[in-house]
Amino acid sequence: MSDDEDAPMVKKTRIFYGSLEEKERERLAQGSGGSGKDGVKAGIEAGNINISSGEVMEMEERVSERQLEVLADFERRKRARQITVSTDDVEVKACLRALGEPITLFGEGPADRRERLRAVLSVVGPDALKKSKKEEEKAKRSQDECQQTWYHEGPDTLKEARLWIAHYSLPRAVERLEEARNLKEIPESIRTVRQQELHKNLRNLNNLCSQIGDDRPISFCQFSPNSKLLVTASWSGLCKLWNIPDCSPVRTLRGHNTNVGAISFHPKATISQEESDINMASCAADGSVKLWSLDSDEPMADIEGHSMRVARVTWHPSGRFLGTTCYDNSWRLWDLEAQEEILHQEGHSKGVHDLHFHPDGSLAATGGLDAFGRVWDLRTGRCVMFLEGHLKEIYSVNFSPNGFHLATGSGDNTCKVWDLRQRRCIYTIPSHQNLVSAVRFQPTDGHFLVTGAYDNTAKVWTHPGWSPLKTLAGHEGKVMGLDVSPDGQYIATCSYDRTFKLWMTE
């Protein structure tokens, strides 16, 4: 049968080809009954073959998500097989803890735990464990730096001052210990009765006087050594003297141009000091420190050297030295007889807020914004105790007259009591609902402790025992400072509401 006869019997089918090789075209043409180029031409003429120009069959550009997941799982398993994991189960748990994973699951054995660690590392990468270890080492290093102490080389007068402080403090320590022995010889029943009477009086504390002290918040207050004067410091830059107990104004001290952080009486002011002598010292947020007399409203002298905020100024019990705390992470000791700075002490990792001297004059306690406190031996210059336990900044420190208890008030709303003999915190008082701004022991014998806070109240606590006796409520703003009179008769509180209040028993 010839090609022409066979052609009508073939069902016409349109076939599309892409860019094919010449030989493949010829083979297809031959398969349709033609030979060579003539067969191709015949197929094209008959309409059985249609060759398009340049059409290409393209593969899919994207693989399905399922295929990607399978591929990723395959790669992860491949990486997991290449990761080396310790066979020590303790080390495996430590690695899981470092990665933030549970150290064990219910019914999980050591082998399963190793496989789980390997699976986790295959996802986060083996370097994640190294990074977590580096972060732990960095945190540990920063913790060590917080506990590290820096010492500045002092002048020759510093050695002389340390010897002088040693000769001054040792006899006072002997007297304090002798008084403690005499107190211990008093029968327990008599001491208990006295304590009960004191607690009864404290429960009857009432507001004796409330006085508007300034047109800005009052940041600090302190009684004079004879308990007949009260000095207040304000954010207006003014300091004022008041008569006690009628709270009448005596004098306004003008000298600071910004917020005054504290003003403190000389230990011998109103007792043996002349009114024209240096009787007070104050500090402000601009770094200025000024010295005042009792007969003038102008400062007698300025102490220069601070470049940042000075939060507190405190007199050494001898009256010869003045301590200042600064937000440059240091505190300083000034010798007023030599009229120079004899000690520039670092050791806190943030600003130092408060400073208080031991009743003997041998030690100094500092509290900083780094949430740590330190106790320094002024006779050797060493940090003899590190106070670690508060969760936030320490805003107040105060020694008890017994010589071995120290109270600290913090931004974590608690007051902690530390024992210098045991070198640890012996009690934490959950004292307030807000930041504790001030803590004060009774200055005569330390039988009670007063705390003030930003919850607008001050509270009185027994010592020892630390049970609440009285809540001094009445301020409309946060309590920023407080003090107990040297004779133990009055308590003064000053507040953000621009007033100070005087409290006493009926």
Q: Against a cut of 0.75, is the pTM above it?
A: no
CB–CB of 216/236 below 8 Å? yes
How many other CB atoms are there within 10 angstroms of residue 351's CB atom? 18
**How does pLDDT run across 325-338, given as a tens digit for each residue?**
999 999 999 999 88
Q: Distance between CA 280 and CA 251 in Å, rounded?
A: 13
For β-strands 352-357 and 363-368, DSSP reports them as: antiparallel
State the DSSP code for 413: S
From CA 497, how far away is CA 302, in angstroms rounded?
Answer: 30
Domain borders along the chain are: 3-51, 72-146, 157-505
* pLDDT tens sequence across 205-237: 899 999 999 999 999 999 999 999 999 999 999
Using the Cα atoms of residue 134, residue 137, residue 139 and residue 142 in order, give the sign of their dihedral: negative
For residues 169 and 360, is the Cβ–Cβ distance under 8 A? yes
Q: How far is CA 501 from CA 260, 338, 437, 457, 479, in A?
A: 19, 39, 16, 11, 10
Q: Which residues are bridge partners to 375 per DSSP?
A: 365, 385
Given CATH 3.40.309.10, say whether it is the number of domain 157-505: no
The pLDDT value recorded for residue 446 is 84
Q: Work out the number of other CB atoms within 10 angstroms of the CB of residue 343.
A: 24
Can you tell me the mean pLDDT for 494-501?
94
- The sign of the torsion formed by the CA atoms of 344, 346, 352, 356 equals negative
For the cut 50, the answer to whether the pLDDT of residue 33 exceeds it is no
Query: Under a CB-based contact definition with an 8 Å cutoff, are residues 494 and 235 in contact?
Result: no
| 50-51 and 16-17 strand pairing | parallel
**Please, which pLDDT band fits residue 19 given cuts at 50, 70 and 90?**
very low
Mean of pLDDT values over 492-500: 94
20 Cβ neighbours under 8 A, 6+ residues apart:
28
| pLDDT value of position 238 | 93
